[in-house]
A = this chain, B = another copy of it.
Amino acid sequence: MSKPQRLFVEAPLSQGARVPLPNDQAHYLLNVMRRGDGDPVVLFNGCDGEWRGAIRKTGKRTVAVDLAEKMRDQSAPCDIDYCFAPIKRARLDFIAQKATELGAARLQPIVTRFTVSERVKTERLVANAVEAAEQCGILWVPEVAEPMAFDRYLADRDPARTLIFCDEAAPVSDPIEALTAAPEGAFAVLIGPEGGFAEEERELLLRGENVVPLSLGPRVMRADTAGIAALTLLQAVKGDWR
């Protein structure tokens, strides 16, 4: 028997509770994963910790989980917003998964000047974030925000949240040094589209309060790679990898 399926649910979780599963999760457990009555399963909902329970078939196609034991207390995500220009669909799926694995609390699509504006399917970003959280033992699913225009984002941002953006021409070329000098607390990582930021966007960013330009070495990277690299360095220097 492989290890128990791990599922994100919306319902509250508590000792002895019977948690009915939505149809899609019931179908997944019974028909895709071939699990049945009594098989173990793990649930989390982003606020009540992680619980072990057993599958209870409540009808021909309906399933609940009888919760038996709390395995882990709830932990909070790092206070990191991951802001990114929407890109092609497969890479967008990937970004939602990777930002979740790397511990982001919030995914915020940002439409910049050079963004090739495909419509962002928010529910698809959520589905990818849920999948990554389920598979990677994470106790929350990042909040997914509706797309926002670059100018609006900059105008509305809280300057107490340090904004990190990737900038080839950053004055401090060592990214660890640049992050070490930043204040502790809340962060946003902003990744531009494949074509980069427009010059006027870059100037707006550099004029912003509490903005850290980050240099990521001498090679050009794709936007998704730069995003993972920036989140990695942030977690290692300021986050919970220390």
Contacts and interface: CB of A to CB of B under 8 A. Distances in A.
Q: How many copies does the complex hold?
A: 2
Given A98-B225, A135-B222, A174-B242, 9 more contacts: A102-B219, A102-B221, A102-B229, A136-B219, A137-B219, A137-B220, A176-B176, A217-B240, A225-B228
B101 A221 contact: yes
Interface residues of A, number: 34
Contact of A240 (B138, B218, B220): B218
Interface string A207-242: 000000001111111100100110011011101111
Contacts of A241: 173-175, 215-218
A101 B219 contact: yes
A237 B103 contact: no
Nearest to A226: B101
A225 to B, nearest CB: 5
